Amino acid sequence: MDSLGLTRLPGPALADFPPFLVRAPWWGGDLQTLRNYLVRWSVPLLSAERIYLPMRDGSGDRLVGSLHRPPPASGPAPARPLVVLIHGLSGCEQSHYMVKTAAHLLALGFTVLRLNLRGAGASRPHCRFQYYAGRSGDFADVLAALPFELIKGGIVAIGYSLGANMLLKYLGEWGSDAPLKGAIAVSAPLDLAGTARRMMWRRNSLYQRYLLRHMRAESLGPGAEVTAAERAAIIGARSIWEFDHRFSAPRNGFAGAEDYYERNAARHFLDGIAVPTLVIHALDDPWIPPEPYLGYAWRRNPSLIPLLPPQGGHVGFQGRDRRIPWHDLCATRFLAAL
């Protein structure tokens, strides 16, 4: 690992990942994080087909995704894996990073599925219940429901933020039985409790208010099944910790926020991952503390490839290449290696 926290994939013919070089004027973790909200960018309109993926828990819930197929190739095309994108907290298929990555990978010839987790985005009307940081069983159900013609070239998953935590937990639980060729985690909160505490810092009050507003809206949206007490907890929560302590934890069988965070934090599952997994995180992320990344012995698990630049913000990575975020450039290298 070099001074930028970059490493190289194991293997005899795999190129190094590019270093992350900040693009002016987006200096610092906050500007890197906010840039996608402050600056509107355009991507090509993506033609998509709706796909419905039933959950196997008897709830009747179905997750909904947007499936994008590349244009037909003029000649024989290499078999490429389906890439499944998993959004973060209060996100959905329309989140900027989901759309931009989908457009980038589609242009490279990959079939891409932008997945809405349980109760998020287009899944909301089709779900009684709600996703949470460790609901990895839902992802297992998604993989089981995918038509064979989509996955005959294999599957790669890319998770962002809370979706990355869920993905890493899933990978650690399934180990070598995970039916994935590879995975990428971007800005995962390895320590959920530490992340919740950091979000309560005064400097993060605007971030927390933004997230809470969207968390309330999606938890109470059409199709949601909540009791009067749960509705009161959702509306009355004044922090993400309180939201999780009063709603997310008891609804999903946890004793409280601390129990929920401890049992679902991805840091506990890293040792069990057996699928090649690229882990991308900026050490100046204003939402997520860096200590779990710096304290983990990455060499202990050769399946994990950490890219830990000192800058980049939270799912930011606004680099010198103005067209493509740095994490997508790294994802492209990783996919090519697979």
Are 183 and 280 a contacting pair, CB within 8 Å?
Answer: no
Residue 288, token pair as written in the block: 């997520």
Omega prior to 302 cis, within 30 of 0: no
What pLDDT digit, counting tens, does each position of 296-319 carry? Answer: 999 999 999 999 999 999 999 999
User: Looking up tokens 């329309």, which residue turns up?
Assistant: 94
- What's the start-to-end Cα distance of the chain, in Å? 20
pLDDT at 191 over 70: yes
Are 89 and 117 a contacting pair, CB within 8 Å?
Answer: no
- Please indicate whether residue 58 or residue 37 has the higher confidence score (pLDDT): 58
What pLDDT digit, counting tens, does each position of 161-170 carry? Answer: 999 999 999 9
Q: Does domain 29-191+265-337 have CATH number 3.40.50.1820?
A: yes
pLDDT at 180 over 70: yes
What pLDDT digit, counting tens, does each position of 70-98 carry? Answer: 987 655 567 899 999 999 999 999 999 99
Rounded Cα gap, residues 319 and 52, in angstroms:
36
pLDDT at 105 over 80: yes
Question: Within 10 Å of residue 174's Cβ, how many Cβ atoms?
Answer: 20
What confidence tier does 206 reach under pLDDT thresholds 50, 70, 90? very high
| pLDDT (0 to 100) of residue 41 | 63
Q: What is the mean pLDDT of the chain?
A: 92
Rounded Cα gap, residues 13 and 244, in angstroms:
45
| pLDDT (0 to 100) of residue 95 | 94
Mean pLDDT calculated for residue range 157-163: 98
pLDDT at 40 over 70: no
What pLDDT digit, counting tens, does each position of 213-269 carry? Answer: 999 999 999 999 999 999 999 999 999 999 999 999 999 999 999 999 999 999 999
